[in-house]
Amino acid sequence: MARHKPAAEGGYQRGEETRARIIDAAVVVFGERGYDGASTRDIATAAGVNAPAIQYYFDGKEGVYLACVEHLITLLWRKMAPTVEAAELALADEICPDTRLIEVSLGILGTVVSTIQDSPEATVWRAFLDRHQAGLCPESATTAFEERFKARIGRVIRQLIARLAGFAVEDERTVIHSMALFTQGLAFRVQKPKLLAALNWTQIDRKEMELVCEVVLTQARFTLEGLVRLRYQSPAH
C-alpha cells in the first residue's frame, strides 16, 4: 500500500492537498495513456509537482495507481452504499417479503445504471475505469478493487437472487442469473457510444439517464417476478 505522508515543509494540510492533486492528475494520465504508457514524470508534470514527489507520496507508479483505485472505490461506494446496505438489511430479515427483496434488487441495479449520466468527473473516471476493467493495470490494483468493492456487491446480489428463486447461493443458476441481470447496467456504460448513436443523443443528462433506468428496471422487474413465480411452481415449494 502506498504511503500517506503530509509534506514535511508545509504540514499536513498542504501535504494532503498535494497528494490529492497528484491523484487527480494521475487519473487523467492513466485514463489517456494506460498504466504501461504513463510515466511518473507525465503524472508529475500534469500535477504541477516535481518528479520525486511521486516517490515521496506513493513509492512510485504502482503506488499512485493504487491510490487512484482506493479513491475510486471511495467515490463508488459513496454512491452504492445506501442501496447495498438496504439490501443487506432486507436479507437479514428471514421473513422479508419477495416484493421488498425485488425493490432492493432494483435499487442496486438502478444505481449501477445511473453511472452512465455524464459529468466532468464521471468522464475522467470512466476512461480510467475502462482501462482498469480491461486488465490494463497492476494485479495488485485488480485485487484491491475486487476485494474492497466488487466482492461485497456481488455477494449481496447472489443472495438476493437465491432468495427470490429458491436456489442455493452457490448454485450455478444463481450465479448465471445474477450476472445476466446485473450486467445489464454495466452494459449500458460499456456500450454507451452505441446507445448515443442509436438514439441520436449527444450526451446522457439526467432526463436521458432516467429513461434508460426506467426501461432497464421494468425489464429487470419482470425477470425477478418471474423467478418468484417459478419458485412457487416448483414441487418443493
pLDDT at 7: 47
Cβ of 207: how many Cβ atoms within 10 Å?
8
pLDDT score recorded for residue 1: 46
**Within a 13 Å sphere around the CA of 181, how many CA atoms are in the beta-carbon half?**
31
Q: What is the pLDDT of residue 155?
A: 95
The whole-model pTM stands at 0.82
CA distance 109 to 156: 12
φ/ψ of 205, rounded to 5, equals -90, -170
- Rounded Cα gap, residues 227 and 223, in angstroms: 6
Residue 158 CA to residue 233 CA, distance in Å, equals: 21
Residue whose C-alpha cell reads 445511473 in the numeric block: 114
Cα–Cα dist 190/61, whole Å: 27
Domain 11-61, CATH among 3.40.50.720, 1.10.10.60, 2.40.50.140, 1.10.10.10: 1.10.10.60
Per-residue cell: 122: 464521471
What size, in residues, is the chain? Answer: 237
- SS3 of 187-218: the string is HHHHCHHHHHHHHCCCCCCHHHHHHHHHHHHH
Domains of the chain, residue spans? 11-61, 68-233
Place of cell 414441487: 235
Q: Is the dihedral of CA 148, 36, 24, 113 positive or negative?
A: negative
pLDDT of residue 11: 55
CA atoms within 13 A on the CB side of 71: 21
The domain made up of 68-233 is a member of CATH 1.10.357.10: yes
Q: For the chain (length 237 residues), average pLDDT per consecutive 10?
A: 50 79 94 91 94 92 93 90 97 97 96 80 78 81 87 94 96 95 78 88 90 94 96 80
